[in-house]
Amino acid sequence: MKTYHGSCFCGAVGFEADGDLAEGTMRCNCRFCRKMRYWEMRLPDSDGFRLTRGREFLAETPRTQDDGLAMHHWFCARCGTRLWTEGDIAEMGGRFVQVVVSALDDAAEAELIAAPVYWADGADDNWWNPAPETRHL
């Protein structure tokens, strides 16, 4: 495990995240993730996320579906960079934080290349199973 440092493109928002890319990342085929090109690393402990600057520049993508899921997708309101998702979903073990891999400033290229990717089938509300097709993601 290591402490990664992340930020938005304009530098207004910064964070630290304790995680391990070698433990795996996730991409999803649901409508939201496809539009946002999300690639996330779930932190083993949600307390391992620390916002270090820029709270006043944060904006949240509003949820457009009424599925009862408690998820919040955060981004920089100045430059639009996607930063992290947090939520509380019983099926995912309760409270969680997932940071957007592309927002990590100090993830080495070798770490990114080697990071395993789990391709979730969110389009069919079947996140616990792999997506049947991933070439377009």
Name the DSSP letter for residue 41. Answer: E
Q: What is the pLDDT of residues 117-135, one digit of tens each?
A: 999 998 888 878 899 998 8
Distance (Å, whole) CA 105 – CA 58: 18
If one counts every other C-beta atom within 10 angstroms of the C-beta of residue 5, the result is: 14
Strands (E), the chain: 2-7, 14-19, 25-28, 40-42, 49-53, 58-61, 70-76, 82-89, 94-100, 117-121, 126-130
Query: What are the pLDDT digits (tens) for 9-21?
Result: 999 999 999 999 9
- Indicate whether 69 pLDDT > 70: no
Specify the 3-state DSSP secondary structure of 100: strand
In contact, 77 and 59? CB cutoff 8 Å: yes
The pLDDT value recorded for residue 63 is: 67
Residue 112's pLDDT band (cuts 50, 70, 90): very high
Q: Can you list the domains of the chain with their CATH numbers?
A: 2-120 (2.170.150.70)
Report the largest interatomic distance among the alpha carbons of the chain, rounded to a whole angstrom.
Answer: 40
- How much is the pTM? 0.89
pLDDT of 65 above 60: no
